[in-house]
């Protein structure tokens, strides 16, 4: 399994839709965390996006998974940047092997 850092950029002026969709989004993330696929996630302080750290068999599988995010289904994600990441020190490093 490979670790990926995923950056979401939210659609401007999408606060109301995100607020409405957030419970489903967090439930979806919670299920992925429980399954060991999601290592960490959270919004940026400025509210313009979020960082999510996943374990996945590959980028294509991760991209397919991200399209099932309730935020993606609601159309509030303007952009997604996915980068393979190799944590070597810290709590997430244990999950990289």
Residue at token pair 């944590």: 87
pTM of the model: 0.93
Count the domains in the chain.
1
CATH code where residue 16 lies: 3.30.70.1060
CA distance 68 to 28: 9
Contact criterion met (CB below 8 Å) for 29 and 92: no
Structural domain of 8:
2-88
pLDDT digit string (tens) for the chain, length 97 residues: 899 999 999 999 999 999 999 999 999 999 999 999 999 999 999 999 999 999 999 999 999 999 999 999 999 999 999 999 999 999 888 766 6
Q: Quick check: is 97 in a domain? A: no
Q: Quick check: is 96 in a domain? A: no
């Amino acid at each position: 399994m490979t670790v990926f850092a995923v950056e979401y950029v939210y659609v401007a002026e999408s606060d109301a839709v995100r607020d409405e969709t957030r419970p489903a989004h967090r439930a979806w993330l919670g299920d992925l965390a429980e399954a060991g696929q999601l290592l960490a996630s959270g919004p940026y302080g400025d509210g313009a996006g979020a960082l999510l750290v996943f374990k996945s068999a590959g980028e294509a599988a991760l991209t397919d998974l991200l399209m099932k995010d309730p935020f993606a289904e609601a159309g509030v994600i303007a952009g997604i940047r996915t980068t393979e990441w190799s944590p070597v020190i810290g709590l997430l490093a244990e999950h990289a092997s």
